[in-house]
Amino acid sequence: MRGSKIWGLSSCLMFGVLVLAVPGEAQQTKTIRFVLDWAFQGQQGAFTLPASDGTFARSGLNVVIDRGVGSGDTVSKVASGTYDIGMADLYSMVRFMGENPGRPLIAVFMVNDKSALAVETMAKSSIVKPQDLNGKSIAAPAGDASRQLFPLFASVNNIDQSSIKWLNVSPELREPMLIRGEADAVSGNVPTVLINMQAVNIAADAVRVMAYANYGVGLYGLALITRPEFAEQNPQAIRDFIRGTVYGLNRMIKDPAAAVASVKTRDPLINDKVEQDRIKMTLDYAIITPNVLDNGYSNVDMGRLQGTLAQVAPAFNMKTTPSAGQVYTDKYLPPRSELKVER
């Protein structure tokens, strides 16, 4: 009798252990392979911070972050399944989808409410307006988003694309080629190019910036992209990744030094002051717009988005213009109360 009571008690305890174990099994760590649009720079602290301080891990995510070499390359890698999520220019994704029907991608979070794409020249050059680029040489990595979107910039500003001589360069050679006069212009993200120039003692006013957004191309910017089937199969992981990104953005705003320190664990050669300046310029230029301040991150106006798609489709020689809903979805966003900017 005593033995049966002991057995019964032991059974209850074992059952309790099993019951407690079930939730743990349900919350097994999910590995997310994430690729950036570019090299490790200060603004990438939005992702390295939640990875390094345990924010992602507390949501059950093991986020592996790799650097990128341009939005075009990032889009291809996400589409192939090499990575689960990427940060890339939204319209580089649209261009890929037009060239690769049957390989859909979807943006699930808008990081940059405003595009920072541009063509840059030295202020002392004879290039003072977009049309002056005709017949000139432009240096850029092949996958750079500004280069990917140049056809739209060209079509809106009467630039003869066939007259442009593109110089394929690695990211680290782009600005030096412009400084040495080996290229008439470069294409690149405004904060990236200006801060890289600043890092070698070239003042901002020594560079002429022709930002696409100021020349008839009012595009959205960088977004988190994924394959629709991956998002559908892992909705909570996507939502938690976005939550971590919002946390990272807000912490980066409040403590840029911590953001740079986090990125520096990935690339110890970066300069703290340069990257803190890059964070400020990126936030001011592309991320914290009046829309984001009023409505929170990733508050996408589907009408505005559709209008930009109508602009890019002809420039990309797309047979049909995709709908805004084919390009972006808000179904994986956390509640809007969790998407506020904190300063």
Confidence of residue 143 (pLDDT cuts 50, 70, 90): confident
Let me know: does 330 contact 339? Beta carbons within 8 Å. no
* pLDDT reported for residue 312: 92
Q: Output the average pLDDT for the chain.
A: 92
Comparison of pLDDT for 28 and 83, the residue scoring more: 83
- pLDDT tens-place string over residues 291-336: 999 999 999 999 999 999 999 999 899 999 999 999 999 999 999 9
Q: Matching CATH topology for 29-113+220-338 and 118-214?
A: yes
Name the superfamily (CATH) of residues 29-113+220-338: Periplasmic binding protein-like II (3.40.190.10)
Give me the mean pLDDT over the 22-35 stretch: 73
Name the superfamily (CATH) of residues 118-214: Periplasmic binding protein-like II (3.40.190.10)
Reduced 3-state DSSP string for the chain: CHHHHHHHHHHHHHHHHHHHHHHHHHCCCEEEEEECCCCCCHHHHHHHHHHHCCHHHHCCEEEEEECCCCHHHHHHHHHHCCCCEEEEEHHHHHHHHHHCCCCCCEEEEECCCCCCCEEEEECCCCCCCHHHHCCCEEEECCCCHHHHCHHHHHHHCCCCHHHCEEEECCHHHHHHHHHHCCCCEEECCHHHHHHHHHHCCCCHHHEEEEEHHHCCCCCCCEEEEECHHHHHHCHHHHHHHHHHHHHHHHHHHHCHHHHHHHHHCCCCCCCHHHHHHHHHHHHHHHHCCHHHHHHCCCCCCHHHHHHHHHHHHHHCCCCCCCCHHHHECCCCCCCHHHCCCCC
* pLDDT reported for residue 142: 87
* pLDDT reported for residue 88: 97
Give me the mean pLDDT over the 184-211 stretch: 95
Confidence of residue 27 (pLDDT cuts 50, 70, 90): low
Torsion of CA 310, 103, 40, 233, to 10 degrees: 110
List the chain domain ranges. 29-113+220-338, 118-214
Confidence of residue 28 (pLDDT cuts 50, 70, 90): confident
Q: The pTM is what? A: 0.86
Task: Reply yes or no on whether the pLDDT at 5 is more than 50.
Answer: no
Let me know: does 9 contact 248? Beta carbons within 8 Å. no
Task: Reply yes or no on whether the pLDDT at 227 is more than 90.
Answer: yes
* pLDDT reported for residue 14: 41
Task: Reply yes or no on whether the pLDDT at 11 is more than 60.
Answer: no
* pLDDT reported for residue 81: 98
Longest dimension (CA), the chain: 100
Residue 103: both structure tokens together = 């390989």
Q: What's CA 299's distance to the chain center, in Å?
A: 16
- pLDDT tens-place string over residues 231-286: 999 999 999 999 999 999 999 999 999 999 999 999 999 999 999 999 999 999 99
